[in-house]
Amino acid sequence: MKGKTLSNLLLLGWCVILMIACSGEKPHYVIGVSQCSEDIWRSWQNAEMVMESNFHDGVELRFATALDDSERQIQQIDSLVDSGIQLLIVAPNQRSSVKSAIDRAYDKGIPVIVFERKTDSQKYTAFVSADNYEMGRLMGEYVVSRLDGKGNVLEVAGLKGWW
């Protein structure tokens, strides 16, 4: 009897798998992208994400741009989360300003990828960025080698408080 029960369970399992496979439904993944600002660099990043998503069936990207407004970015992140995204990608406007929104998304079980700019939140799945300190050091060495000890250097800083 045990053998027959096992055979019936295997047959039932194969029937379920076959029905799912024949339904033609593909998985649908929704990714929310929260950009801190809008410029040529951000447009290029968004275009690259769209291009890559075209290689994967069932991927939908939802973009929000905060236009350098931290309150707007918090509202947009919350809205993306409420819309049912399964992954959140965030470039924070300010280091601490969107911490609460990132925390809420992560606490709901949504993986969070913080990119380019750091956050005070500890609730994220991954951080992706270039090593800005090392890039600055290398640029400084290059400038020193080109100026040969003479000349003036001007440093232009980014947004105050995000580094």
Q: Is the pTM of this model over 0.85?
A: no
Task: Name the nearest CA neighbour of 158 among 61, 93, 104.
Answer: 93
Per the CB < 8 A criterion, the answer to whether 8 and 64 are in contact is no
For 99, which DSSP code? Answer: H
pLDDT value of position 5: 45
Per-residue pLDDT tens digits for 105-126: 999 999 998 888 888 888 889 8
Mean pLDDT lowest for which of 14-18, 55-59, 107-111, 159-163? 14-18
pLDDT value of position 76: 97
Per-residue pLDDT tens digits for 72-105: 999 999 999 999 999 999 999 888 889 999 999 9
- Alpha helices (H) along the chain: 2-22, 40-53, 70-82, 99-107, 132-147
